[in-house]
Amino acid sequence: MIDISAEISGIHFNSCIYNASGPLDATLDELNNIGYSNACGILMKSCTILPREGNPEPRYKDIDGGSINSMGLPNMGYKYYLDIIPSLMKFNKPVIASIAGQNLDEYKQMIEAFNSSKVDILEINLSCPNIVGKPQIGYDFEMSEEIIKMCREVSKKPWGLKLPPYFDFVHFEQMASILNGSKPDFIVCINSIGNALFIDWEKEQVVIKPKGGFGGLGGKYIKPTALANVRKFYELLNKNIKIIGVGGIYTGVDAFEFILSGASLLQLGTSFAQEGPKVFQRVSEELKSVMIQKGYQNLQDFKGKLKVID
């Protein structure tokens, strides 16, 4: 029997694959579709204090090898997600809230509200690259540390942080130092790579409207960067901080590589947007097939055991 189950702070997931916050998770109907699927958890859309319409359309485009988007955090507002949590309990799988404040007080207000709900886990989003005029908090280490310290003091739920991609070892080390001191239950890496540009050469124009066509890059393009972030944080973080890998996971081999690099669970974003809910079962079965081929019974048999060349 091949076991791909996982856990975060005692909360059991019957597999290791579920949805990333962003695609197809903004409404109760969409979240129900995830609940009925083979996803091991239900991750809600990153919510803000007030409902947001997001950026003007077109703001999402499938491209060869992935996607580009500048959604601008369209969501129903955190009170909507609080209200629908009881409806999601019927699926008997962990329900995760994703919180995206504009400042420390907003994060605190939403964390305190979800503390009083039946949500299982809080994912604190420090990494949305597509709010016009707002930088990614995850690149401001001083502000990140302040928010992370507040999360540790205020959250009564298991909590973790969704991080932007980092590219320099010094930045990995700076963030790892903050994380090791603050002890979140997990991190999620990576969010999309911000401010990419894709061009329709025949029309001689960009493919999305916001920000002059600049948007977050997702899909196969970002897998090497995502793997690098998972691996480097696995090397630097205290091992009781779990890592959730996301970025370019389309196949069981992709999933295997993320776990080999150190991920404990995996999220599907662009592949879910493109394929729909059936992607969770397909990738799970493909991962099991790879494990059978390799002779592995569970994720711990190979998690983090990536070999280097001597």
Query: How does pLDDT run across 288-301, given as a tens digit for each residue?
Result: 999 999 999 999 99
* Pairwise CA distance, residues 263 & 235, whole Å: 11
Q: Does the residue 208 lie in any domain?
A: no
pLDDT at position 134, please?
73
Residue 47 forms part of a structural domain: yes
Binding positions are: 21, 45-46, 69-73, 125, 162, 190-192, 219, 247-248, 269-270
Q: Give mean pLDDT, residues 253-263.
A: 99
Instruction: Determine the Cα–Cα distance for residues 225 and 190; give it in Å rounded to an integer.
Output: 8
**Mean per-residue pLDDT, 120-134:** 84
Note down the domain range covering 143.
Answer: 6-54+72-192+219-301
CA distance 245 to 102: 24
In a domain, 182, yes or no: yes
Q: Which residues are annotated as a binding site for substrate?
A: 45, 69-73, 125, 191-192
pLDDT-based confidence at 279, cuts 50/70/90? very high
Q: Give a yes or no: residue 187 inside a domain.
A: yes
What is the share, in percent, of the chain residues with pLDDT greater than 90? 96
> In the predicted model, is pLDDT for residue 228 greater than 70?
yes
pLDDT score of 133 more than 80 = no
What DSSP designation does 173 have? H
Mean pLDDT of the 234-242 span: 98
Question: What is the CATH number for 287?
Answer: 3.20.20.70
Q: Are 50 and 80 in contact (CB under 8 A)?
A: no
Mean pLDDT, residues 61-76: 96
Helix or strand (DSSP H, E) at 17:
strand 17-19
Residue 91: per-residue pLDDT: 98
**Total domain count for the chain?**
1
Show binding-site residues for FMN: 21, 45-46, 125, 162, 190, 219, 247-248, 269-270
Q: Is residue 62 part of a domain?
A: no
Asked if the structure places residue 119 within a domain, the reply is yes
Average pLDDT over residues 168-184: 98
183 Cβ neighbours under 8 A, 6+ residues apart = 152, 238, 240, 241
In-domain check, residue 156: yes
- Whether the predicted pLDDT of 128 surpasses 80: no
Question: Model pTM?
Answer: 0.97
Mean pLDDT score, 49-63: 97
Q: Residue 33 domain-assigned?
A: yes
- Residues catalogued as catalytic: 128
